[in-house]
Amino acid sequence: MEWDQDIWDVAGLNEVVALVILGRWMELDPALARLRAFAATGGRLAAAVADAAEEERAAASGGPRPTHAALRAIGADGYSELLGARAAVRA
């Protein structure tokens, strides 16, 4: 039996969180596009997660420290904590 992500996570929030935690920045754009599509129809959580993921990517390239202001503004502090985490990657 094949598991269908779309049933449980239609916007792809989990995929974006996982890619950020793993630091897989090159794979992030298609997942962010999906979130932005949901955001365009009023999805506040989707927009806030996308903004925070982009902040994390910018910080990983030497940009400013992420604030996750949009997530905090809607009370989604848990997503902020997840997006700020990084997996220990073995060489």
pTM of the predicted model over 0.85: yes
Q: Tell whether the model's pLDDT for residue 1 goes beyond 50.
A: no
Confidence of residue 88 (pLDDT cuts 50, 70, 90): confident
Tokens of 37: 């599509």
